[in-house]
Chain A
Amino acid sequence: MTTAPATLVHPMSKYIREDRLPWIYCPGCSIGIATGMIVRAIDNIGLDFSKVVFVSGIGCSGRTSGYFKTGTFHTTHGRAIPFATGVKIANPDLEVIVVAGDGDLAAIGGNHLIHACRRNIDMTVVCINNWNYGMTGGQFGPTTEHEKLTQTSPPPIGNMEHPFNLIKLAASSGATFVARWTAVQVRRGITSIEKGIKKKGFSFIEIVGACPTAYGRMNKLGEGVDMHKHLLEVTDIQNGLPPHEAEIEYDKRIVCGEFVDIEKPEYTDVLKQMHAKVRK
């Protein structure tokens, strides 16, 4: 028999720095949804939240670390992954989660991303892909599609470059868990993030979202609601598909699902074994 609570609180409030609400995200932005997904994944697993560490980069997605009520870090552009690697190696009991955007992780942080995949260090990277560099006003980035309009790829030319496919990048670099969901597949995303956290190895989860204020406005994709409805429409769920077939094209088809779930020796495990070997 429980006594009535003094007041009602949001079920996730114990994980959130409530004095920092409302968040800085634009209305209709997917980053808030992704933040909620991560929190719910942690709640479902039942982790000791004081052992969870968030490291983020720069940008709108980088602001997420400021909202979790644990040890959180807002590092320099692209360097969230090495920072997180240092944290994990120094204290392997910590659960390290990196939240960063597509520009942060795949452009300036690209080198660190592929090497962390290769090293298979136990961390969970949630990449929120909103197709551009949002915080600085909507410049094109490594995931902006060809011919799309952005602040640095203005009409009439549009983007001359072609985008990365982050799933293919992570998978071929050696990540042991790779998944992609859009911000609308909230429950499935939560499940994948849970799996990624629980798994011992480098987990990469791409959450495809919308940036209505910058990317959406310049390419006439509509408001947040319209973009999210569109994402739902073009999603093609194919769990278990080989990663090299996980295509992503905003207008036509975004293949979602869990593509890679393999076992490989994990860096901190091997480090411990090597120590034991040397000390013997």
Chain B
Amino acid sequence: MGDIACAEGAISAGCRYFGGYPITPATEIAEWMAVRMPEVGGAFVQYEDEIASITSALGASWAGTKAMTATSGPGASLMMESVGLAVMTETPVVIVNIMRGGPSTGQPTRGQQGDVFQAKWGSHGDYQIIGLTPASVQEMFDLTVRAFNLSERYRVPVFVLADEVVGHMREKLVIPDEKDLKLVDRKMPTVDPSDYLPFKPGDDLVPPMALLGTKYQFYATGLTHDERGYPTDSDEVQIELITRLSEKVLRHVYDIIDVEKYMLDDADIAIVAYGTPSRSARKAIKDARAEGINVGMLRLKSVWPFPEKIVSELGSQVRHIIVPEQNMGQIYYMVRAFAAPTPIHLMTKPAGTPQLPDEILQKIKEVHSL
């Protein structure tokens, strides 16, 4: 099952701490972790609420363990303040959001894609995070491993945004051998403890992260801080810090962005999709091609930071772009911002059943005749 693949991906990536809370449709991740964590010597803790889950994952991360939590829409809303804390203290953590019908309690057992913008803009203030969007059980495994690598490399919270369908579907999963997995660990300081400045970045804008219980002493606070970690209310430091936290991610988009280009070489209509609707789109494209329409798909495997350049190039390459989303239009706006003036056609379906292949084929034909 997708959820279980995600949990196994985390374990293969080295995650040894899971703090969670039951919420449909992510409960299976917690339940699988409850069984597996003791087996691998990690810790599974079920907390009193999602806020404790995410905050404790931050604490565990600072104590040197790769940590994660898993939730759905309502829990993600609760976690937002701690996401801000993770960004500000540059704590590596992975947050899995198995998206469901929203807003509010919504439809717990039906998938949707309504939390994509929340992952990026949910917490207060300006910041960048990384958001990955798997569309199959194998990708739930692979992208979770990738999520841990990215969060350790860039010291930033990484969201794995899957919808309930991907979370609950059952497909074949191939778990690679340990020796075939490339894992990334956070950069540790090499200077003398008395010279250590906890938030002094390296050339890649990422500061080395000290381990608790060693001779390195540091102060990690959610307040705006200078390189020593001490709070300050100076304008210059605020600008410098916020800029660096953003640039830390944006400067490395080449490393972070992950897309799949399906039949795009000669396409004059493109579909930009992610998650479950992309699966329907794949079938629709095959059918459309059989009818002679040159259509292809740009499937986003990472949505944050948004692949601006790739979408912009796509816009100049094709005549029309179709964006099917299981929400009222979220990534659509990002595509529109960068692929304009190419016309973008939104297919919204803020419901549990995704756009069916026939529906997408219908839309392709419509757009083709324009």
Residues of A bordering B, CB below 8 Å = 17, 20, 50-51, 53, 55, 65-66, 69-76, 79, 82-91, 93-94, 111-112, 115, 271, 274-275, 278-279
Contact = CB atoms under 8 A, between A and B. Distances in A.
Contacts of A111: 48-49, 52
B254 to A, nearest CB: 33
Interface stretch (B54-62, B126-134, B144-152): B54-62
Contacts of B84: 76
A75 B56 contact: no
B215 to A, nearest CB: 5
B278 interface: no
Interface of B: 16-17, 19, 38-39, 41, 43, 45, 47-49, 51-53, 55-65, 67, 81-82, 84-85, 89, 210, 212-223, 230-231
Contacts of B219: 17, 65-66, 72-74
A89 B221 contact: no
Given A83-B56, A90-B67, 19 more contacts: A53-B213, A66-B219, A70-B217, A71-B210, A72-B217, A74-B219, A76-B82, A82-B52, A82-B55, A83-B55, A86-B55, A86-B60, A86-B67, A88-B63, A89-B43, A89-B45, A90-B16, A90-B65, A91-B63
A87 B62 contact: yes
B57 A87 contact: no
Contacts of B59: 55, 73, 82-88, 90
A88 B19 CA distance: 13
Contacts of A72: 217-220
B220 A74 contact: yes
Interface of B is mostly: mixed
Contact of A115 (B19, B52, B65, B221): B52
A17 B89 CA distance: 19
B49 A86 contact: no
Contact of B85 (A76, A271, A278, A279): A76
A218 B72 CA distance: 45
A79 B58 CA distance: 11
Contacts of B89: 73
Contacts, number: 134
Most chain A beta carbons < 10 A, residue from B52, B59, B64: B59
A91 B19 CA distance: 15
Contacts of A86: 17, 19, 55-63, 67
B61 to A, nearest CB: 8
Nearest to A72: B219
Contacts of B222: 74-76
B223 to A, nearest CB: 7
7 contacts: A50-B217, A66-B219, A69-B217, A86-B57, A90-B64, A91-B63, A94-B212
A66 B231 contact: yes
B171 to A, nearest CB: 29
Contact of B213 (A71, A73, A75, A275): A71
B48 A87 contact: no
Contact of A74 (B17, B61, B213, B223): B223
A112 B85 CA distance: 18
A114 to B, nearest CB: 8
A79 B51 contact: yes
A90 B335 CA distance: 41
Nearest to B228: A19
The 6 closest A-B pairs by CB, nearest first: A86-B59, A86-B56, A74-B221, A90-B63, A90-B60, A82-B52
Given A65-B219, A84-B59, A89-B17, A71 B212 contact: yes
B63 A87 contact: yes
A73 B231 CA distance: 12
